[in-house]
Structure 1
């Protein structure tokens, strides 16, 4: 490396180190996404349901695509030898290619390449896993069985056709997608809900603004008969804030609060407040919630009445017991 290049490298490293932790993290994530694009988030295996040791995955794309590895696709169909090239070699055969048709062949020719080296997901030395959307397995099986009934396949391929029939009998296309989700431990509904709540949270701390009004605190002092400390606020306010403000936020039952808290732990600094990690949407929801709770507190004559209103307005909210 020349002195000029060495100087540029040192300068780049210094600039990188000068960036805030959250900014460096964001840049690293962007670079990883640009390199790989797709990544496995969940992993399962067909052993129990199909009797074959085949890995399946759920990817991190918008569709949460359920996939089976290319090697696994070959194993599912009973192809032996040739490792990851077994499927391309099989479909290139004259009779099989004719049975499958152009659309399926094009899909086989363009496997999904995704990063698999996450906990519980092993990857080859190169770090990339080749796979296919799992519905393609069903499409191939249907095409093979249909071609066989028409007498368009070789007798030597009868064993593979029999395996295709077993797979079709075990699952339809929609069913096998659900099976991959189940085997990989992916709850589609739950995951989509979490993704929706992420709109309320941001990774980097926004600039501090006072969000909790003095009026709300005055009402809590009155209703709970608390004495104002010389510094700070009573410890009871922490639980009131979490249970009456944060947990009901966006009707998320605490999910938005947990996401914001996780973001703070990962990217924040000592002294940062949880609400600093709410997005613009999240801040609007927070201010609405604070206004609602302040209103309930203002019209309440005592703690019992206040908590009764809270229980009625906030689904299932239990009363707090401070002893």
Structure 2
């Protein structure tokens, strides 16, 4: 347990050597007890010798609650994931296990791996003493929706990860001591990713754009509500056979199999049409039309577009795509090049969370 024995000794004008003699301990043993985890027995002896209560010597640890965040919504830095939380006092923290994993520790590593790593000779040499002290004293907090023995966990103030990554990179550059290549690679990924995100955040702040983010999100939700129906409408034939014939001709397929429309055409339609209609429309369509237990989507995406805005925009887009196909002389690469110029893909998610290509092709 944490203690304030040093402070009490100063208040009473007693040295550690004098206290050690009073309670029958060596000075080295007492120093370890004061600077480490003191036992209840030792605290009682010291309290009696100093004529104070045990409570006067013990620092009761307050367990903060995480108000925001979850291990299911990690921060993505390149290919790495870090569960992150904002505590009730505003402190931003990464989970200890998350930091270990992001740096490249084995999934089977114990919870003490990080402590051993930051106190290794190569890393200690590159860390400021104050940073090292904070890394050796993680913040205990309670995660949202957790209970029982798993209710409390430990985390680190988020900027400490940057300090640690810089120490890893500096240690590797010194070449005096060997650093695992995985740790160095991941440290570089984290530093570069944070730099990109950080510069965007700084620009947002100084320009005042961040103040408008909530308003922009509300407007986007209203736009999507107008663009889409809440439920699937009756299916009607929206894509004319000429549309599929155009695609088949550009891909060198026979027109006689147009009516079969193999699954790959669904991927092309997503690419050519739904990802280019408007911002976030494709993401919202996937949410409204999730895959069933068989891995299939039960409706056509266009069944969720509103009659007032969504369908007219879709028909207009298809007409434009057909025109681009004609001027591209049925050449697929030329067609896609012209399509990107006329109808560039719209951002489908905010906060750097893009739709994986693998998800689109499922």
Global fold match (TM > 0.5): no
Give the TM-score, by structure 2 length.
Answer: 0.35
The higher relative CO (CA closer than 8 Å, separation ≥ 6) is in 1
Give the TM-score, by structure 1 length.
Answer: 0.39
